[in-house]
Structure 1
Amino acid sequence: MPPRRQSQASQTKGKQPAQETQDDSDEETQGGRSGPLTDADIESRAGMLVRLALFQEYKRIPIRRTEVAKQILPDNTRAFPLVFARAQTILRDTFGCELYEIRARGKGESTEDPSQTQAMTQTQKKGKGKGRQPNRGLDAIDEEEEEEDEEEEDATITQKVKRETGTKVYILQNILPGKIIEAMAEPAPLPHGIEVEGDDDDSGALLQWDKGDGGIIGHVGLLGIRTLILSLVLCHNRIINDDHLHALLRRLNLHRETVLPYASKDTTDPHLTLDKYLELLAKYQYLEKIKNPGPMGQAEGGTVEWKWGSREAEFSSKAAAKFMEEIMLGKEGESDSEEEDEDQPRRRGRGAPRERASRPQKRQKLRDDIIKAAGGVPLSGRD
């Protein structure tokens, strides 16, 4: 008896996984509905992507791959890797920055207690066997355990695929070395007696922070407040209660309704209050605002917490630690001879001199304390 011929629907169903795999692999190759791009087309589209990245970054709006495909590559979406690579080269060589893929919301570095996580895992494992019916025999129990193992393995594979896929959302990240930025920000005023036309407040620095950003949060004073807030969040296990944060800021005379007397010279927006500034930091993804419901899931009685946002690539935890270190101990490499001279008379008056920790030892101790305050997770990013 000849074998039955499969129906067309079943054949199509069997080919779908292979076809989806082929489409995914083709996504990373050149070509599209309009055919492959020429070198001139790639150069032109890369320039368009660079302009889009600069404009969006000025407004603090991340760039999505879907938006790039819609505006720049509507008929050649498969050529995205080539255009993206060329745009990265232009950004690095010309502007000293690059497109960086940010993490998803709520996916920051974990600071959970390992023992607590282990206890939860054991509880979940125990809970899996509660629904088993008694007296079903060892074979039935073994089958259930095998099914559970397969489900766990499938979930792990799915998580790995999601992690490898990424968010496909990008921001511009500076790649210039810190020493070059410091040198560019050094004032270089003209000698006395030389008259110039234009802005008399020009410091002569190549990089002027007060003119670098014309946005509503672009003033250098607001940049300092943002750095302070992120440092406080970092040192409170990377997440801080809203009331606790404001209690700390009140010590600096920064209240919720305090009008921050800082605004960029190029903006026409009114001055911000502290609460409004925090909301903007959350909007632009420097901070992440977490609203916890109250009792019985009601909105009343809920709490608000703040944690680092997905723009941590712009200001990393290492940069925050360096900021605190320079405030407390000065810049690395500075001489501490004056401090030694001040301590000498007091040492002699006490009788037996005590060993004094050197500046490098103090720095290392401070760095270790910051890591502990940040939940024990190693600091990451650029400093």
Structure 2
Amino acid sequence: KNSRLREIQSQSTQQPRQNSSSDDDAESANESQGDDLLRNSSKLETEELNQNVKRLVRYALACEYQRLTIKRAGIVEKVIGKQRCNFKLVFETAQKRLRDEFGLEMVELPSRVKITLKEKKAAQKQRAASKSSSTYILKSTLPPEYRKPEIISPPIAHSQSDEAAYMGIYTVIICLIRLSADGQISSHQLEKYLKRLNLDKNCGIGTTSDVLARMKKDNYLHEYKVHDDELHTSEWRVGPRGLVEINSEAIAKFIHEIYGDRISDQVEKRLQRSLALSSAVDSETLPGPVNDA
């Protein structure tokens, strides 16, 4: 009887140990499965991010090749789609890849200056909600010595010589406008300047009217109508792309290259004063930071 009692007691003490061991194994298996799920989920998120970044880089390069603006709405539609991901993370990762591998970066364009009373009222309402224009272009981050036609190919359907001529013409016109009173000039005044440069009829890369239309399409220039009692005319301002590509520093450098050592103190003072006034007007249209979607 005593031996039988000891056997029963031994079995009763072994049973909980076996159950405990079984529970530990199950818990360990569950933890292992949880770790695997987290790793797989992390891999999927990383892969999804990489794919979105690649698509955004391709989209940005394709837009700039055609001198089209990179729009936030276009990024959401063509890159992210219906995926639930962090816009800011995708954007900033793509920015780093563009800088590291292509020597380019996406720069947000300023909003177009509002002229009419209707436009100004609409702008005030929009500014209360957001100061961001949500449109971008690619700008080179390369040092000046590497910004050569041999290295940077021209946009689509244009040769290097045509591109150089186009850049030269819009640079001159943008400088004339930025250095004019209130950062704008009338059509009559622009025609006068172009005639003095022998560019009033033809620019060598097309008729003057066609080249000006192209500059408006590319957002280098903006023309708006002015209605007086006696006549209908128009005024010209620098467009968003023109403000970013040909900034105050570039204008000052361009003027110094034209004058060389002959630039006088008086001209230098007038130049700095004009650029300061122009920059003050442009600062009203500067965009804000990139936000999450």
Compute the TM-score of the two structures, normalised by the length of structure 2.
0.69
User: In the aligned structure 1, how far is the partner of 2:50 from the partner of 2:267?
Assistant: 48
Encode CA deviations 1:186-243: one digit per residue, 9 max, x unaligned.
xxxxxxxxxxxxxxxxxxx8536xx533445952112111111111111212100011
Q: CA offset at residue 371 of structure 1?
A: 3.1
Instruction: Determine helix, strand or coil for the equivalent of 2:222.
Output: strand
Pairing partner for 1:370 from 271, 277, 280: 271
Matched, 1:286 2:220: yes
Encode CA deviations 1:120-160: one digit per residue, 9 max, x unaligned.
xxxxxxxxxxxxxxxxxxxxxxxxxxxxxxxxxxx999845
The answer to whether the 8 A contact 1:325-1:363 is kept is no
The answer to whether the 8 A contact 1:58-1:215 is kept is no
Counterpart of 1:310 in structure 2 is 240
Counterpart of 1:177 in structure 2 is 143
Instruction: Determine helix, strand or coil for the equivalent of 1:376.
Output: helix
Matched, 1:168 2:69: no
1:83–1:286 distance in 2 versus 1, CA, 3 Å: same
The answer for unaligned runs of 5 or more in structure 1 is 1-34, 109-154, 186-204, 263-271, 331-358
Encode CA deviations 1:14-48: one digit per residue, 9 max, x unaligned.
xxxxxxxxxxxxxxxxxxxxx99611111111011
User: In the aligned structure 1, how far is the partner of 2:188 from the partner of 2:84?
Assistant: 47
User: In the aligned structure 2, how far is the partner of 1:37 from the partner of 1:206?
Assistant: 41
1:172–1:156 distance in 2 versus 1, CA, 3 Å: closer
Q: Which amino acid aligns with 2:234?
A: V
Counterpart of 2:99 in structure 1 is 92
Q: Which amino acid aligns with 1:65?
A: R
User: In the aligned structure 2, how far is the partner of 1:225 from the partner of 1:241?
Assistant: 18
The answer to whether the 8 A contact 2:67-2:155 is kept is no
Counterpart of 1:126 in structure 2 is none
User: In the aligned structure 1, how far is the partner of 2:220 from the partner of 2:192?
Assistant: 20
Determine which structure has the larger helix proportion and give its number. 2
The answer to whether the 8 A contact 1:325-1:366 is kept is no
Counterpart of 1:251 in structure 2 is 196
Matched, 1:230 2:174: yes
Counterpart of 2:291 in structure 1 is none
Instruction: Determine helix, strand or coil for the equivalent of 1:104.
Output: coil
Instruction: Determine helix, strand or coil for the equivalent of 1:290.
Output: strand
Counterpart of 2:204 in structure 1 is 261
Q: CA offset at residue 303 of structure 1?
A: 1.4
Q: Which amino acid aligns with 1:240?
A: I
Q: Which amino acid aligns with 1:243?
A: H
Encode CA deviations 1:296-316: one digit per residue, 9 max, x unaligned.
xxxx82111111100121221
> Which structure has more RCO (C-alpha within 8 Å, separation ≥ 6)?
2
Q: CA offset at residue 179 of structure 1?
A: 3.9
User: In the aligned structure 2, how far is the partner of 1:105 from the partner of 1:45?
Assistant: 30
1:83–1:302 distance in 2 versus 1, CA, 3 Å: same
**Paired-residue identity, %:** 28
Encode CA deviations 1:32-79: one digit per residue, 9 max, x unaligned.
xxx996111111110110011011111111111111111111122542
User: In the aligned structure 1, how far is the partner of 2:267 from the partner of 2:83?
Assistant: 52
The answer to whether the 8 A contact 1:236-1:374 is kept is no
Q: CA offset at residue 377 of structure 1?
A: 4.1
Encode CA deviations 1:272-297: one digit per residue, 9 max, x unaligned.
201111111011100111111232xx
Q: CA offset at residue 365 of structure 1?
A: 4.6
User: In the aligned structure 1, how far is the partner of 2:125 from the partner of 2:169?
Assistant: 42
Pairing partner for 2:151 from 195, 207, 210: 207
Q: Which amino acid aligns with 2:130?
A: K
Matched, 1:320 2:251: yes
The answer to whether the 8 A contact 2:68-2:218 is kept is yes
User: In the aligned structure 1, how far is the partner of 2:102 from the partner of 2:225?
Assistant: 38
User: In the aligned structure 2, how far is the partner of 1:287 from the partner of 1:242?
Assistant: 12
Instruction: Determine helix, strand or coil for the equivalent of 2:133.
Output: coil
1:176–1:160 distance in 2 versus 1, CA, 3 Å: farther
User: In the aligned structure 2, how far is the partner of 1:213 from the partner of 1:48?
Assistant: 20
Counterpart of 2:3 in structure 1 is none
Q: CA offset at residue 378 of structure 1?
A: 4.6
Q: Which amino acid aligns with 2:213?
A: E
1:378–1:216 distance in 2 versus 1, CA, 3 Å: same
1:328–1:106 distance in 2 versus 1, CA, 3 Å: same
Larger Rg: 2
The answer for unaligned runs of 5 or more in structure 2 is 1-41, 116-122, 284-293
User: In the aligned structure 2, how far is the partner of 1:53 from the partner of 1:315?
Assistant: 20
Counterpart of 1:102 in structure 2 is 109
Instruction: Determine helix, strand or coil for the equivalent of 1:219.
Output: helix
Q: CA offset at residue 177 of structure 1?
A: 2.4
RMSD, aligned α-carbons: 3.1
Pairing partner for 1:274 from 175, 194, 208: 208
Q: CA offset at residue 100 of structure 1?
A: 1.1
Aligned residues: 230
1:249–1:77 distance in 2 versus 1, CA, 3 Å: farther
